[in-house]
Structure formats: C-alpha cells, structure tokens
C-alpha cells in the first residue's frame, strides 16, 4: 500500500527567496540620531523665538525676584524674530532680525537683555525711562520728565523672612511704588549713600534706562548707560521654580510658594 501524502499534491511548494531581516544596528542609530536632532532643533527654535527659561543668580531685583528663582521670558513680547538672529557668544553679537515688530517695552516692564558692555551676558532689570524721556535721580528719588515717581514705605517683615541671607544684615527699607502700569516694591539700604544722584539726561532714541528693584545693590543704567532696543531679548512673565542649589555661594533654599508667581 502506497503512503498517502498529506496536503494538496497539486500545490507546488513555495519558493524560498531568502530571509527578511529588520534594519541594521547602524540604520537604527542613524534613525535615532535624526530623531534626537529634530527634537533638539525644535526646542532650540522654540527657545529662540517664543519662550526661554532663565535662572536668577544675583539679588539686584529683590524683592521682585529672589536669588535662585527660575523664570520664563516671553521672547516675542516685542516682536517676532527670525530664529537665532540675536545670537551672542564671545565676540559674536548679532542684532535681531524682526519678521514683524510689536509694541516697544513699556515703562515698568521687567526685561531680559544682553548687557551692553558684554553682549554674551544676560541681565534682567526694570524699564524706568523710555526713549525721549528726561530722567534724573536726586537723593535716591527718581524723576521722569521732572515728575517724581511716588513711593510709600511699607513694612518689610514678610519680605525679610524670605530674604537671602546675604542681605539680612543691611538696614533695608521697603517702598511700594508704581512704574508705568506696574505696581511693585523696591528696597533701599538706608546706610548706603554711594549712588544717590544721577544728573538729568535725555534718553536717546531706541534706548532705555533700566534699574534693579534692589536699588542700592544693582549694577544698572546709573553706572553703564542705556540699553539699546536691539539688545532686548524679552519680557519676564513668571517664576516657574525657586531654589538655591546646594554647594553654591548662598545657603540652600527651596521656595515652593514662589512657583507660579507673576512678575509685575
């Protein structure tokens, strides 16, 4: 008796053309590199054009901003720039190319800008004087167009409780004031008479006079002059994190209550 064949004896066996294999290790690596490069490029463009985080390393803007605050800056607050057109590094300093401009900085805005003496360094201060304004300071009182910026002394106990240790030993007084449409607090050292006056000057076109809210501990326009409009990177929006890192020159602090604080 003949052996029976299982299956359809009329269906030919499939031809084996070779084993199908997936992408090689090299191809996978190239694909990963492309993906990472794309992600980094998108993030860098976003930071250059829309929003960029910064960390506050010094106390020149206390009590508005504390040492260790991490802030978010609106890079298109004053116009939409071509990505990376305001790049600065070492001796390289490019002026921004605006695709379209919006309103210029307003009095009282807290801005991040390239320090005019070294554009590779970013500074943050408050706009006090606008182009065309006359500005003078007499006995620490600021006058814009011969009009005094009013201040009102306020208790500083709550501010002092959050103060960085570096400034606790000074004879500080706190004043509520209004710069433009921005109501905020400044602080002054009653024992400091180093820079109490600034002779009257007219602010040139396309330039701004800026000051720190920590008036006696701020290196600003009183010392090095005006900020050109092309140096301005954006307007500070809010604090998204606040911590002085361990092993820094300042004592460790974590301030969760400052997270989400708007910058006025």
Catalytic site residues? 60, 125
Residue 114 CA to residue 122 CA, distance in Å, equals 5
68: left (phi over 0), alpha (psi -120 to 50) or beta: left
Residue 87 CA to residue 94 CA, distance in Å, equals 5
Q: Closest by alpha carbon to 96, among 82, 107, 106, 108?
A: 82
What is the DSSP secondary-structure string of 137-182? EETTEEEETTEE--EEEE--HHHHHT--GGGTTS-EEEEEEEETTE
Report DSSP state, residue 262: B
Q: Closest by alpha carbon to 61, among 9, 127, 137, 121?
A: 127
Residue 192 CA to residue 190 CA, distance in Å, equals 6
Residue 176, strand partner residues:
152, 185
Contact 254, 67 (CB under 8 A): no
């Amino acid at each position: 008796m003949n052996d029976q064949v299982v299956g359809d004896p009329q269906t030919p066996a499939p031809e084996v053309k070779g084993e199908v294999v997936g992408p090689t290790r090299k191809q996978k690596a190239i694909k990963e590199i492309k993906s990472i490069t794309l992600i980094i490029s998108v993030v860098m463009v976003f930071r250059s054009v829309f929003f960029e985080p910064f960390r506050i390393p010094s106390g020149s803007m206390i009590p508005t901003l504390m040492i260790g605050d991490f802030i978010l800056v609106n890079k298109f607050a004053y116009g939409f720039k071509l990505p990376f057109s305001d790049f600065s590094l070492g001796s390289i300093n490019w002026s921004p190319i605006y695709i379209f401009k919006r309103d210029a900085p307003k009095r009282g805005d807290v801005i991040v800008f390239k320090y005019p003496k070294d554009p590779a360094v970013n500074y943050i201060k408050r706009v006090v004087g606008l182009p065309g304004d006359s500005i003078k300071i007499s006995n620490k009182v600021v006058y814009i167009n011969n009009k005094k910026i009013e201040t009102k002394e306020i208790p500083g106990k709550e501010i002092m409780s959050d103060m960085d240790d570096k400034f606790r030993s000074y004879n500080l007084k706190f004043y509520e004031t209004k710069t433009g449409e921005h109501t905020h607090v400044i602080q002054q050292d009653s024992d400091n008479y180093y820079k109490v006056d600034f002779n009257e000057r007219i602010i040139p076109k396309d330039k701004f006079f800026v000051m720190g809210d920590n008036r006696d501990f701020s290196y600003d326009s009183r010392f090095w002059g005006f900020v050109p409009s092309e140096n301005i990177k954006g307007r500070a929006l809010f604090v998204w994190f606040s911590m002085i890192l361990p092993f820094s020159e300042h004592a460790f602090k974590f301030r969760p209550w400052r997270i989400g604080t708007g910058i006025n």
